[in-house]
Structure 1
Amino acid sequence: MKKRTQKLLALATVLTMGAGMLASCGNKASSGENASGETKAANGENASDEKKASGKTTLSLAIWDENQRAMTESLAEAYNKEHPDVTVEVQLTPSKGGEYWTKLEAALTGGKAPDVFWLNVLHLDSYMEGGVLADLTDAIAKSDIKDNFPESLVNNYVRDGKYYAVPKDFDTNALWYNKAIFDKAGVSYPTNDMTYEDLVAKAEELKAAGLPNGVYPFACPVDFQTWYYQTVFANGGWILSEDKKTSGYDDPKTQGGIQCWIDMIDKGLSPTSAVLAETTPDAMFEGGQLAMIYAGSYMVPEYVGNDNIKDTIDCVVLPSFNGVQTNCINGLGYAVYEGSKNKEAATEFAIWLSSKEAMDIQGNSGVVISARNESQDLFKNSSDKYDLSVYTKYTDKAYPLPVCKNASQLYNMEAKALQKAYSGEESLKDACAALKKEADEFLAKNQ
């Protein structure tokens, strides 16, 4: 344990860098998340080293999304019912501002981490090197996971032939729009067969119609997973080489997939980067300040639960780019704490979370898309008001999020460099040239 703790402590600075931004990879922090005393932080006691008076084993499950708390508690109740000797306690810590990761890492270094916890691929390598992730290879081999989950999602958590997490869900992206803004402007709604050029034309039509002060046709933030990675990949660009040794920021095709969003800002079709630094696109859309927005499937519960917009919004598939139906896919997994006093019970619970029963409970909630193949359609069927099939329609064509060792640092330097291009401080070509040099030096040190 001492050696493992020392490893994690050495990585702590890296892990916490950009945690706020990384919270968006997999699930974004809900603006309605409650960090008051009624929620349980994922940094406290490892409940697995305690036994209730009844003799039950208590397992802790750490999550970060308020929108998924009720669903997760339903999973705990279902497991408790089937396993009377086990009690599962859900611990929620908001991801906003990186609080989830900060508290989780403190718990891991202190040896009192949750038995099972949400993990995204951006933290996998550092946690694996820190020695805090249980090897689930044998347990997964005895389960039906490899036969019933998308191979790309299962392999997200494989390193050197070992499995370190059970796939939980995945997210893709769609175009949402506010019908009230379109109606007032006299502009037709977006459709499922739009191209990027159609999106720009639609935004220009809205602008020409004269939108109210403070209302914009669209938003173009420096957001890799939801915005520019879609068009980079569709344009034939790339971020990381297969061997993770070089970056593709200097490739004209990569830059073409980024420049298209800067062009929309320059045309006044999106708020400036300075405005978006003050107010997020999600907040603007929910406040009726955006006619259109790209949004991950994890934002659906928040949008449809917002009384201000829920009756005036709808969604379509992302516009194609250069004839390619583009999307970026990412997801979460359930990891087991290597230092758990009840690691066997925790592993059994993690594997159960991949079962059809558990995945159906998650899917029927409508909060996320279950990773299990036969449970994916439950998300789109969870609403008869919105066509949520737009999120699952092209998953087979979606591009996986590019990751590398200590990916958080790479994404931070990427965002910092591109912010200069989005703001007009530098040309995209110059910003990417500097980014290429910095990124390749970073990759050389992180093999």
Structure 2
Amino acid sequence: MEMNRRQILALAAAAAAAPVLAACGDSRTQKQAAAPVKSGAQVIDPNRPGSDAWPFEEAEQLNNSLTWPRTSVPDPATKIVITVALTTDAVTEVRNAQFDFFFKQRHPNIEIKRESAPFDQFLTKYMTQAAGGTLPDVLYNHYSWTQNLVANKVLHPLDDYIGRTPGFDMDDIPQSGLGYFKRDGSLYGLPTDMAPKLLFYNKDLFDQAGIAYPDETWTFDRLFETMRKMTSGSGVEKVYGFSPMPKPSPDLTAVFLLPYGGRFLDQAEAKVMIDDPAARDVMARWLDLLIKDKAVPSLAELQLLEKVDPFKSGHAAMMINGAWLMLELSKQKAFKWGATHVPKGPEGRFTPAVGSALVMAESSRNKDAAWIYMYEWLSASGYKFRRIAAPARQSAWEDNAKALGIPAQEVKLVKDVLADYASDDGVLRLPASKKVENTAAPVWERAMLGKIGVDDALREIAGKVTPVLAENKVA
């Protein structure tokens, strides 16, 4: 891979500015679920990888029960090594080791060198490597990173490999969530997970208030009205109608503005629109809910809670979050919960379909072997083996949900949303996205503190963000 000076500088600068890129407005990293660790440290035996969380015998039994697909791309005739870089933790690393162990049994000439880094360090580490001209063969890729890497010619398009693999079944992956990984008609990433955002609610708080649970008939006007009714108490005992307060984040448009015909940026991410009337009116209503009705946590109240998530701790009646939250909620016993469609607005119902992906480095010298690995990892059997909580392949949802204890009705909800109205429209993905968010955030925080009015805040955001958008005009 040869990179010119501009590309190297762009990658180095992006690496320096990328400590954390939030997934869909929150800092979680989408990954496979793991059973709770029962005891002891994780020790990976290369000849029999396993742990209390992932016993080797269970993994072997599951692996043998699955039908592993084949591709027309041939295995290497001699032994080669591919490097795979993933975000992981001590528990999921064991499952990754098990996948590689059984993969090598099926492909004895492909050796796997596995690397890992925490989510908040991953992009910095590997963009720095890319600036130096080297990368692993296969990498984890968050949806918000892809366009920057493609623009700098770091990734290899996957269309030819998909075309040579008829059994890959692209129809099993919602097309609405692939736009993040496309550029100039080519596809550079295949999702490891994909989920829409949903409206979650605390059933216990609704029962105590004597209010009917949210459902698919709800509008945002109904949401706002109920938020006010559900707000009660004070201090650390306070219950909020909704949390968190919307902010100028990558999916602000997709969740909160499109239902009213508004946008943060235009579709080309070349013009600021948050100060246009449609978006302005939505942001003003949320500020009123914060400052006048106190129905969402203020910055000071979040500090009082010591950064404990108000909804997860039982201090908020409702929140809008990704379907991946279902796994965490299913494990907790503090309160009963439910999920339903996001509310509608005058222009309809909208929610983002987002996820992470695997990508192939342009610099890889073993692209065929890298594809064979990616294909099995991203096959229906691969999703089921790794127990992905929000699998991009729709055929894996039921089996995984059953294994993880996620209610069947919630799985149906997710699949219906992905098939009906979830999309990638309005979710920021171009290279300037993180700077856009960082530039707008402090201005909006001043508005949340009541130090600046909504109109002045949105005009200031527009003025400061507009020059930043020049970074999206890449070759």
TM-score strictly above 0.5: yes
Cα distance in 2 between the residues matched to 1:204 and 1:366? 37
Q: Residue 305 of structure 1 is aligned with which of 325, 328, 331?
A: 331
Q: CA deviation at 1:270?
A: 1.1
Answering whether residue 155 of structure 2 is matched by residue 130 of structure 1, we say: no
Answering whether residue 415 of structure 2 is matched by residue 392 of structure 1, we say: yes
Q: 1:413 to 1:26 in 2, by over 3 A?
A: same
Equivalences for 1:38-437 in 2 at 5 Å? 57-64=81-88, 72=96, 75-88=99-112, 91-95=115-119, 98-110=120-132, 113-143=135-165, 144=168, 146-207=170-231, 213-223=237-247, 224=249, 229-266=254-291, 267-276=293-302, 283-309=309-335, 312-322=336-346, 324-361=348-385, 365=387, 367-368=389-390, 370-375=391-396, 383-384=406-407, 387-395=410-418, 396-400=420-424, 401-437=427-463
Cα distance in 2 between the residues matched to 1:374 and 1:181? 35
What is the identity, as a one-letter code, of the residue corresponding to 1:241? Answer: D
- Residue 55 of structure 2: aligned partner: none
Identity among equivalent positions (%) equals 20
Q: CA deviation at 1:232?
A: 0.4
- Residue 45 of structure 1: aligned partner: none
Query: What TM-score results when the alignment is normalised by the length of structure 2?
Result: 0.76
- CA root-mean-square deviation: 3.7
Q: CA deviation at 1:25?
A: 5.8
Q: Secondary structure at the match of 1:271?
A: coil
User: Which blocks of at least 5 consecutive residues in structure 1 are unaligned?
Assistant: 41-53
Cα distance in 1 between the residues matched to 2:216 and 2:91? 27
Cα distance in 2 between the residues matched to 1:200 and 1:23? 25
- Residue 62 of structure 2: aligned partner: none
Q: Secondary structure at the match of 1:387?
A: helix
Cα distance in 2 between the residues matched to 1:242 and 1:286? 33
Q: CA deviation at 1:385?
A: 6.8
Note if contact 2:84-2:112 (Cα within 8 Å) is conserved in structure 1. yes
User: Deviation per CA, 1:249-290, whole angstroms, max 9, x where unpaired?
Assistant: 221112233333222212111111333367688722222222
Note if contact 1:114-1:337 (Cα within 8 Å) is conserved in structure 2. yes
Q: 1:418 to 1:177 in 2, by over 3 A?
A: same
Paired residues, number: 425
Q: 1:321 to 1:73 in 2, by over 3 A?
A: farther
Q: CA deviation at 1:200?
A: 2.4
What is the identity, as a one-letter code, of the residue corresponding to 1:372? Answer: R
Cα distance in 2 between the residues matched to 1:333 and 1:398? 18
User: Deviation per CA, 1:327-349, whole angstroms, max 9, x where unpaired?
Assistant: 12222221112333433311322
- Residue 3 of structure 2: aligned partner: 3
- Residue 69 of structure 2: aligned partner: none
Note if contact 2:389-2:400 (Cα within 8 Å) is conserved in structure 1. yes
Cα distance in 1 between the residues matched to 2:111 and 2:325? 30
Q: 1:208 to 1:415 in 2, by over 3 A?
A: closer
What is the identity, as a one-letter code, of the residue corresponding to 1:389? Answer: K
Cα distance in 2 between the residues matched to 1:244 and 1:301? 33
Cα distance in 1 between the residues matched to 2:346 and 2:92? 36
Query: What TM-score results when the alignment is normalised by the length of structure 1?
Result: 0.80
Q: Secondary structure at the match of 2:139?
A: strand
* Greater Cα shift, 236-245 or 218-227: 218-227
Cα distance in 1 between the residues matched to 2:131 and 2:400? 37
Q: 1:242 to 1:375 in 2, by over 3 A?
A: same
User: Deviation per CA, 1:13-45, whole angstroms, max 9, x where unpaired?
Assistant: 334435424344697148x999xx9699xxxxx
Note if contact 2:82-2:137 (Cα within 8 Å) is conserved in structure 1. no
Q: 1:387 to 1:23 in 2, by over 3 A?
A: closer
Cα distance in 2 between the residues matched to 1:386 and 1:201? 27
What is the identity, as a one-letter code, of the residue corresponding to 2:450? Answer: G
Q: 1:219 to 1:25 in 2, by over 3 A?
A: closer
Note if contact 1:380-1:389 (Cα within 8 Å) is conserved in structure 2. no
Q: 1:436 to 1:280 in 2, by over 3 A?
A: farther
Note if contact 1:29-1:94 (Cα within 8 Å) is conserved in structure 2. no
What is the identity, as a one-letter code, of the residue corresponding to 1:436? Answer: A
Cα distance in 2 between the residues matched to 1:27 and 1:392? 24
What is the identity, as a one-letter code, of the residue corresponding to 2:231? Answer: K
Cα distance in 2 between the residues matched to 1:334 and 1:196? 36
Note if contact 1:366-1:378 (Cα within 8 Å) is conserved in structure 2. no
What is the identity, as a one-letter code, of the residue corresponding to 2:302? Answer: L
Q: CA deviation at 1:424?
A: 2.1
Q: 1:239 to 1:228 in 2, by over 3 A?
A: closer
Cα distance in 2 between the residues matched to 1:147 and 1:226? 25
Note if contact 1:228-1:261 (Cα within 8 Å) is conserved in structure 2. no
Q: Secondary structure at the match of 1:173?
A: strand
Q: Secondary structure at the match of 2:309?
A: helix
Q: CA deviation at 1:305?
A: 2.7
* Greater Cα shift, 281-290 or 291-300: 281-290
* Greater Cα shift, 406-415 or 210-219: 210-219
- Residue 48 of structure 1: aligned partner: none
Q: 1:133 to 1:208 in 2, by over 3 A?
A: closer
Q: Which runs of 4+ in 1 moved over 6 A?
A: 37-40, 209-212
Q: Secondary structure at the match of 1:350?
A: helix
Cα distance in 2 between the residues matched to 1:146 and 1:391? 19
Q: Secondary structure at the match of 2:237?
A: coil
Q: 1:200 to 1:73 in 2, by over 3 A?
A: farther
User: Deviation per CA, 1:387-417, whole angstroms, max 9, x where unpaired?
Assistant: 2333332223124123323322122223333
